[in-house]
Amino acid sequence: MEDCIFCKILNKEIPTEFVYENEDLVAFNDIHPRANTHILIVPRKHIETIKDLKEDERDELLVGKMVLAARDIAKKKNLDGYNLVFNVGRSAGQIVFHIHLHLMSNG
């Protein structure tokens, strides 16, 4: 997607260090961290919001993989407690319309 900032990060048009990546997704530090650790887990597939997920195995699996990636990153970083957040829609504070999972921790 041409004007999507996360697609530009995925395409390396905007250089960003990935803290984790696999064939389905990447993870990088949020540019405006709101916790000691604030990482975004971003699928390589452009999907605008959680509302746009399809009821098919591919999207179901993708969201599951996002949660498991967050868990694995938290484990590797020895985080005890953490919050996993999807902002869905502008009125809920979503500003980037390419789905992403916030992993935030102060522990």
Q: Which residues are catalytic?
A: 100
Provide, rounded to whole angstroms, the least separation between the CB of residue 57 and ligand 5GP. 25
Residues paired with residue 83 on neighbouring β-strands, in sequence order: 104
28 binds ligand 5GP (CB under 6 A): yes
Tokens of 64: 């599951």
Nearest in space to 1 (alpha carbons), one of 33, 43, 36, 38: 43
Binding mask 48-77 for ligand 5GP (x = CB under 6 A): ------------------------------
Alpha helices (runs of H) in 3-55, residue ranges in sequence order: 5-10
Residue type for position 56: D
User: Which parts of this chain interact with ligand 5GP (CB under 6 A)?
Assistant: 5, 14, 16, 28-32, 40, 87, 93-96
